[in-house]
Amino acid sequence: MNTDGKCKCGAFAYALTILGGFLIVAALVWAMRIYTQPEPLGTDRAAERRDKLRALRAENHDVLTGYAWFKKDRGIVRLPIDRALVLAESLGTKDSAALRAEVIARQDKLNKPVSFE
């Protein structure tokens, strides 16, 4: 028992007060981190890029899978990719000199300057 009338729990009260202060500061820091955390960088940009890629693939699907005139005045047709691969494979069975000459002739036909006479 205490004979002088003073409480000997002063150190405990100080420790409890300091611990409570630290807990309050920790709770405030945790709350501020949650409320002020920005949206991860690039999420809106990633969604925009995904939409553009989807549109590009849809646009290219027709180009890669359909027939169309490439240069109608020169008689050049765009083929589907699978048909072009079959034709390229059949061209590869020729001897290399004839194949090279045919590819050069086709390239010259494609890049021939247009005369406006």
Which pLDDT belongs to residue 70? 81
Cα–Cα distances in Å, from 21 out to 32, 33, 71, 103, 113?
A: 17, 18, 79, 82, 84
In a domain, 99, yes or no: yes
Q: What is the pLDDT along the chain (117 residues), one digit of tens a residue?
A: 455 656 667 888 889 999 999 999 999 999 999 999 877 778 788 889 999 999 999 988 888 888 888 878 877 788 888 888 888 777 766 677 777 887 788 888 777 776 666
Structural domains in the chain (count): 2
Residues 74, 112 share a domain: yes
Which pLDDT belongs to residue 28? 96
Can you state the percent helix, strand and coil of the chain, rounding each to 5? 70, 5, 25
What is the token pair recorded at 51? 């939409």
In a domain, 107, yes or no: yes
C-alpha dihedral sign at 22, 26, 32, 38: positive
pTM beyond 0.75: no
Give the number of other Cβ atoms within 10 Å of residue 85's Cβ.
11
